[in-house]
Amino acid sequence: MPASAAPPRADAKARGVWIALIHRLHFYIGLLVAPFILTAALSGALYALTPSLEAWLYADALRAPTSGEPQPLSAQLEAARAAIDGRPAPTAIRPAPQPGTTTRVMFADPKLGGSMHLAVFVDPVSLELRGTLPVYGTSGLLPLRTWIDHFHRSLHLGEFGRAYSELAASWLWLLALGGAALWWLGRGGQRRGTARGHATLGLVLLVGLSFFSATGLTWSKWAGERISELRSALDWGTPSVSTQLDPGRIEPRHDPHAAHHGAMDEPATTAFDPAQADLVLAAARSAGLGAQRIELRPSNDQARAWTVREIDYQWPTQADSAAIDPRDGRVVDLLRFADFPLAAKLTRWGVDAHIGMLFGLPNQLLLAATALGLTVLIIWGYRLWWRRRPRRLEPLWYAIARLPRRAWPALALATALLGWALPVLGASLALLLAIDGLRLALRRVGTRRQIG
């Protein structure tokens, strides 16, 4: 054979070694982690589609049957406070976004827990009480979406359950990229029928799966802390308006993920004047906050301004906010979304796209389609495994041992860094390798006994 033929054969052998490793890892992820990924995908899609369900389920509270000129916001607040025994101050106020809808006024309620609030829905024209519902977090999630949110995030198992969703998000991008790598490295081979369809669908979903994995990790417990540290170190934090009326105070930053863990300002500790709401709302509108959906947060002491922010997240630019002095309507600080750093804009868009808010219904349908595609992909993968299942599963250590020894240090370093950045992935990989090593050891003991 000519000497020129040797390098291609060597390249093919090296490629085959890497294909074997990626294939074995892809197989293990699909077999063991795919059920968690499937649970997260389907519950996430259901979460994204809940606005339409809630519009029907809570129609009595969300819809206002009376037509005409709305009453002043202060009158609506008085009606809401009277409906729940005159509680002193709301934590947030959302004026009716359009005719035929209600104004939502949220109050702290110790009986509901720290992240829950009581929302009172008032007809802005007749001032009729339309209903009360417990809501969750700064987004004011209604009960159905709250239940789905907790299931999607932790299976209703509390902090312990968050490991499941982080496990799914940590491995999803590797599962998707591993499948793409197998297609690329083995593109010269013959793939037929089911295997080809599985690979094709994986490539179609690659970008979407990688995106939802990355954005999901920002909400996770352990990897999320790493990401927050990185964003802080690179000064990629989301800016927020300063509510300081006293220059000596330090303002906290706004958390773009607050909708998932329920942070909200405490109710005002000083005397609350509902009339100030009209002044603050008019000042915010004059300052250019023109989104239909807007939220006012009263200050919790006299040394801080009220905060007004646009919450019409289906449009990617309607996220302006302002701090308004409730005494005279002076704009203390104004923050335009157009002035956000690029990293903060990407974070905002990523958050909204992940939960199905960006562009509204098209985003929700895309989420549902991606979840459906991932469901089909996982079922397809299990079918492939069942049809081709070997009597013995080759240990992952065999595939690692076949790699060139010069590749071992780089592979070990990359694995260690990845395990540090994504702790649940690192812990689950270590457990997988330990179990795989135990299987290998037991196999060798059995072989020795047979020989003996």
The whole-number pLDDT of residue 233 equals 86
Amino acid identity of residue 48, one-letter, is A
The whole-number pLDDT of residue 145 equals 94
**Residue 302 pLDDT level (bands cut at 50, 70, 90):** confident
**Residue 372 pLDDT level (bands cut at 50, 70, 90):** very high
Q: State whether residue 175 is helix, strand or coil.
A: helix
* CATH code for the domain defined by 63-136: 3.10.450
Is the pLDDT at 270 greater than 70? The verdict is no
In eight-state DSSP terms, residue 337 is: G
Is the pLDDT at 13 greater than 90? The verdict is no
The whole-number pLDDT of residue 448 equals 66
Is the pLDDT at 286 greater than 70? The verdict is yes
Average pLDDT over residues 352-364: 89
The whole-number pLDDT of residue 8 equals 58
Q: Cα separation of 373 and 350, whole Å? A: 20
Q: Cα separation of 337 and 290, whole Å? A: 13
The whole-number pLDDT of residue 2 equals 46
Q: Within 10 A of 203 (CB to CB), how many other CB atoms are there?
A: 14
Tokens of 112: 């509901």
Domain with CATH 3.10.450 in the chain: 63-136
**Phi/psi class of residue 158: alpha, beta or left (left: φ > 0; alpha: ψ in -120 to 50)?**
left
Is the pLDDT at 282 greater than 90? The verdict is yes
Helix 408-421 to helix 222-233 angle (10° resolution) is 90
Of the two residues 24 and 72, the one the predictor is more confident about is: 72
| Helix extents (H) in 98-157 | 143-154
pLDDT tens digits for 126-137?
999 999 999 998
Least confident window among 8-22, 86-100, 129-143, 222-236: 8-22
The whole-number pLDDT of residue 235 equals 82
Of the two residues 54 and 392, the one the predictor is more confident about is: 54
The whole-number pLDDT of residue 114 equals 72
Of the two residues 390 and 196, the one the predictor is more confident about is: 196
pLDDT tens digits for 48-86?
889 889 999 999 999 999 999 999 999 999 999 998 876
The whole-number pLDDT of residue 388 equals 76
pLDDT tens digits for 216-263?
999 899 999 999 898 888 888 889 999 998 665 445 445 555 545 555
The whole-number pLDDT of residue 441 equals 83
pLDDT tens digits for 341-357?
998 899 889 989 998 88
Over the chain, what is the mean pLDDT?
87
Percentages helix, strand, coil for the chain (3-state, rounded to 5) are: 60, 10, 30
The whole-number pLDDT of residue 325 equals 95
β-pair type (129-136, 294-297): unpaired
Least confident window among 73-82, 181-190, 405-414: 181-190
**Residue 199 pLDDT level (bands cut at 50, 70, 90):** confident
The whole-number pLDDT of residue 5 equals 45
Amino acid identity of residue 52, one-letter, is S
Cα atoms in the 13 Å half-sphere on the side-chain side of 210: 12
Q: Cα separation of 117 and 60, whole Å? A: 19
